[in-house]
Each structure stands twice: as C-alpha cells, then as structure tokens.
Structure 1
Amino acid sequence: MRVAVIGGTGLIGTRVVARLTDSGHDVVSASRATGVDSYTGEGLAEALAGAETLIDVSNSGYLDEWGANEFFYASTLNLLTYGAAAGVRHHVALSVVGTERLARTERGYFAAKAAQERLIRHSGQPYSIVHATQFFEFLQSIADAASVHHVVRLSDAFIQPIAADDVAAATATAALGAPVNGTVEFAGPERFRLAEVVGRGLRIRQDSREVVADPLAEYFGARLEEDELLPGPDATVAPTRFADWLAAGGSMSAAGEAAPAR
C-alpha cells in the first residue's frame, strides 16, 4: 500500500513512517523538511500521487485559537482537496481526547482542532480520526508552559498519558484498517493527577522547579474540569506504563511540537 504521512518528520510521524516501512508499505514522508507544505499546498500533489491512504499527524506551531485555526483549516482543506484529486481512499487524522468538550467550554486551540475534525467529517471522504491522550514526551512542554518564576502551577485534573510509540502504533493500525468514518480513542494504562505526573517526571530529570496543584490553573488557556482530559469507556488502553517508559530512557521533551495535541 502507498501511504503518505503528512508531518512525517515529527515525533509521531517518524514513528509511523518507520512502522509502515518495516511492514513493507510504500511510504512517503511529507513535511516542510522534505519540501511539502500542507498549509500552502506546496509539493502536495507530488506527495499524494498514487497514495491510497493519507495520514495527517501534522500540528500547528500556534496554540492560540486564531493561529491554530488558520493552520488547521487551510492545511486540512488542502489535504482533503488534493487527496480527493489523487484518489486517496482513507483519510486518517490524529487529534486529541477531549477536543469536543474543551472546544465547547474553553475554545482556544481545542476549538481549532474541533473545526479540523468537522471539515474531515463533512468532506464526504472515507476517514478515521484517532484521538489520543497527552504524550509522556510532552510533560516537559506542559511544565514549561505553566512555569512562572521557578514555580509550575498546574491543574489537578486527571490525565491518562500515553507513550508516543503507542500513539504511532495506534495510528498506523487505524490507517491499515478500513475507514471507521468516526473516532477511535487511545490512552495510556494509568491515571494520574496532572500536577502529580508532571512533578514526578521533573524530579526524575532533577529539575528543581516546584510543582503546585492549583484548581484555577489553566491548561494551554483552558480551565479544566476534573475529568475533561480522560478518554471514554470504549478507549483502547495502550500497554506502556510511565515508569517503564522512563526506565527505557524516555525523554520528556519534544522540541518543535505543540503539547496539547499529543
């Protein structure tokens, strides 16, 4: 199968490309680094030529609603348009658990992601939307975004984070299956308080910042209810536990990628 991976040089994209290539598929890794820009359309026709499946794991460099919406709307519309012209039969997009809830109550970045999903759903093209919880790899970015004067103020909401390798496996599996024309959810095997797991990760990295659980703290502009970041009861639970990921050398940093989306 010929598969085009948009965002193929990023944290998830590189893993998806490797998995599909190792399985014998013809994979095109498409990103600005390879001369393909989904936002402007540059190089898209060539990247999608002959592709049966398109996987979109790209992300906005902007976390505010206006900037994120500008990126996701233009990029997704281009992918759907160019994909239809190329004969793509399965459009797969990676998104975030809780997007619809947070878009309704808090808007911001999550409103932009919800708009992206609506474009895909209403396109008339066969699709699968993969919802994942927050990545272990992004806990550092979450801490950095909430840090002021050596103090990290974080919501005490629950979180069920997942390893990037498990997200890539889920995305690749969804892409190789039949379109579900709906959403499938994936989450890690353990539930933590957000402040707890970020604090634990920082201590292991010998980061001396103080982590404070604050019910009024915002999460990338969103005020969280206790369960807003949790998956539904039908979510597939990935195998990798946080302690095992750390023991295997997992790194809590992913420069260049925006934390809420994965």
Structure 2
Amino acid sequence: MSRYHEPLVYGITIAIVAGVIWVAEKTKGPAVSTVPVTAAKAEPLQFSQSKTSSLLKHQAPKKGAVGFDPALVLLDQEVEGLYKGRRDWKQREPVVRAQMENLSMAELTTLAVKAVDTSATMSERQMSVYLLSLAGLRAHNALFDIVKTPFSAPKTAAKMKFTQDETSLRVRALQALDQMAFLNPAQLQKTMKIVMKSPASPQLKNYAQISLNGITRGQPGKLSHWLNQTIASAGDQ
C-alpha cells in the first residue's frame, strides 16, 4: 500500500491492533480512534440484534453516480488529506467528529458499505472505519455489520494478504465497538455475545470474547488495551 498511509497511522493518537493486524500495519493502513467516543445526536437508537450483516443487501454506490452524499464527500476529503501527507490528525479529529454528527443513519450505513466493498481502495475502506469510529453510538450498527460481513479469499498467490487486510479491517471495527462499552456496557455486552454466534471468523470471535470478558468484569476497553500491549510487545522484539 502507499507510503502516504504513514501519517494517518502514526499521526492520530490511537491504538494499533495486534496479531494479523500487526502484519497489516506494515502496510500503513488507517486505524481507529480508541478515545472513548461521546454520544453524537439525541435521537432514538435501535441496536441491531441480528447475527447476520445487513450490508449484504446493500450495493456500493457506483462511481460517477448522480447525487450528493455527505458521507462520501467527507470520505473523499479525508482520503485526499491522507494522500497529501497530512500530519495534523490529532487536531483534525474534533472537526471530523463534528462533521460525523451531522450524518444521518443511512449515510453512516453508506460508509459501512464502502468499508466492505472490495472494489474500493483500501485507503477508502480503512478511512470509512476510522470515520465511523468517531461517530459514537450512532455508528454501532454500521460497525457491527462490518464485523459480521463474511469474505471469501481468492484462490491466488495473494490469498494471505487479502485475508490479512479483510481481517484487519474487521478487527478495527470490532475495536471501535469495544470502545463504545464505555458509553453503554450493557448493550456492548450483548453485541459481543452476538458476534461470537455470528458468521465472523474464529479470530474475530476470540477478540470479541476478550472484549466481553472486560465488559463483564467492569473493565470496558479491554480488547483495545490488550491489542495495544500485544503490538507494543511485538515492536520490542
């Protein structure tokens, strides 16, 4: 992946995920915010209880399609900043968070659809997850659907890289959900239990168990803490 990913990974004060994610970080892909997010809009929230992803029913917007989608405009804007080597991500984050507050639930779903769209660039897909991680509890269902969306690796020499990228993307979404447990531990406890019964990969289910263990013991954010420690240990080797 492009060297321009480096500013996003190292410029934003965020956790880096471990295991296969550590390998994926070598490609300098964007990560997710692990600062406890705040509730964005005072509107009724309906948390998904489904074991399957609703994104399977959606189609990614075609390039050049007529219409103005604020979510995609914001996505393009931030990806452009990434390619230009932006280094002020910490200062930029509050601005982007405020912009995310103005997106509708349907527009948040648009970002989730983009995140699992294998025809999109990995920059767009990882940035979509990052943006959703800034949207608070309103992005719960979008991130939850990303985690639950299955993928099939191609029968090519690039199978391992593809699997690493797809798993990395979903772990980032799971990590964002893990952070939401600071806001609504009861709901996120239910969410992690559903992940463990979903079509998600065994690795994701193991990570969901780590998150669930922390929430159950009154220690939300345990997954992010564990991933940070793991990647730090790997970096010291």
Does TM, normalized by the shorter one, top 0.5? no
**Greater Rg over alpha carbons, structure:** 1
Task: Give TM-score scaled by structure 1 length.
Answer: 0.28
Q: What TM-score, normalized by structure 2, do the two folds share?
A: 0.30
Q: Which has more helix, going by share of residues? A: 2
Higher strand share: 1
Q: Which has the higher contact order (CA 8 A, sep 6+)?
A: 2
